[in-house]
């Protein structure tokens, strides 16, 4: 039941179920950056919601056909291309 938090301020552009990655939430940030959080047990925000950095947006889970146990699949995209999140976020 670990909370998933938004990495930066932004607007939720996707909050739904996909067969492969289960419950997915996507957040559009400034500078053409989008963050995706996949395999969530529960989605706490809906499309159109504004979130602040650190807001809880989902609960970690094990959903979707491609899941291999409870975990967070995190992605960042810049101008439509996947990028290394460590270039944008301090972990």
User: Is 71 one of the catalytic residues?
Assistant: yes
Q: What is the per-residue burial (b if ≥16 Cβ within 10 Å, else e) of 44-61? A: bbeeebebeeebebbbbb
Q: Which of 29, 39, 71, 73 is catalytic?
A: 71
Residue 27 backbone class (left: φ over 0; alpha: ψ -120 to 50; beta: rest): beta
List, by residue number, the catalytic residues. Answer: 71
């Amino acid at each position: 039941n670990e909370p998933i938090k938004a990495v930066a301020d932004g607007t939720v552009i996707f909050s739904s179920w996909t067969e492969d990655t289960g419950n997915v939430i996507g957040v559009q940030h400034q500078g053409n950056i989008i963050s995706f959080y996949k395999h969530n047990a529960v989605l706490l925000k809906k499309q159109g919601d504004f979130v602040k950095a650190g807001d809880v947006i989902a609960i970690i889970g094990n959903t979707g056909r491609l899941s291999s146990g409870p975990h967070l699949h995190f992605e960042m995209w810049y101008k439509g291309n996947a990028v290394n999140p460590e270039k944008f976020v301090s972990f």
